[in-house]
Amino acid sequence: MHRDTKAYRRRVSTFPSLPDRFEEAGIRWRYYVSGGGSMNMLRNSEYWADDFVPNEQIITDAQTGKLPAMSWIFSDGDDVSEHPPASICRGENWTVQVLNAIMQGPDWNSTVVFVTWDDFGGLYDHVAPPQIDRFGLGPRVPLLIISPFVKPGSISHTTYEHSSILKFAETRYHLRPLTARDRNASDMHDLFDFQQTPLPPLVLQPRQCP
């Protein structure tokens, strides 16, 4: 059992990732995350020292125009994670703080932000998950797309999944897909109009949390 576990870890460590594709193409990327969580594969890689920074750095980088071509941003600490029993209000305020910094920074007119969640909250969903492959999709989670080039007020009825974010980045930067899953996913371009006049920022105020 011990030998099998070690062998599994060696196999996992060879899985290609989107950062690998960016490195191959010479494209700057960065993870904004404190602690690293369960991302053992990347935490123990050569990327950890230079490409992972505390998540509060996103505010400074956004305000000073130093955002890389692709960023991943993770909330810091259980109190803003929106996982029970944490306050959804405090988690929302953290997200608003990050979005305001991006929208008020010099990179806004060339930025798209995808806000999504890693699980559905445990509530009933009347739509059965599509069985697109042997793994299938899970219950639906929210996805917010914020950009000066998104179609204003639009709601998509296209089936997306987390691999759609990979597909969007792969399409934008002409990268090879990682798996059949992201190769076949929608790239979400139906929600954008890159010919429109860029939309202005919509700066929000944080809420008073109970």
| Residue 86 DSSP class | S
**pLDDT for res 71:** 95
Task: Give the total number of structural domains in the chain.
Answer: 1
Asked if the structure places residue 86 within a domain, the reply is yes
Please tell me the distance from the alpha carbon of residue 136 to that of residue 129, in angstroms, as a whole number: 7
Q: What is the CATH number of the domain that holds 137?
A: 3.40.720.10
Asked if the structure places residue 65 within a domain, the reply is yes
Mean pLDDT computed over every residue of the chain: 86
pLDDT > 60? residue 10: no
Asked if the structure places residue 43 within a domain, the reply is yes
**pLDDT for res 159:** 92
Q: Using alpha carbons, list the distances in angstroms from residue 25 to 11, 15, 108, 144, 176.
A: 24, 18, 24, 28, 10
pLDDT, mean of residues 69-96: 89
**pLDDT for res 53:** 87
Q: Using alpha carbons, list the distances in angstroms from residue 174 to 3, 116, 166, 170.
A: 39, 23, 11, 5
Q: 148-160, pLDDT tens digit by residue?
A: 999 998 999 999 9
- Encode 21-45: b = buried (16+ Cβ within 10 Å), e = exposed: bbeeeebebbbbbeeeeebeebeeb
Q: 82-95, pLDDT tens digit by residue?
A: 888 889 999 999 99
Domain that holds residue 97: 15-191
Band (11; pLDDT cuts 50, 70, 90): very low
**pLDDT for res 40:** 56
pLDDT > 60? residue 13: no
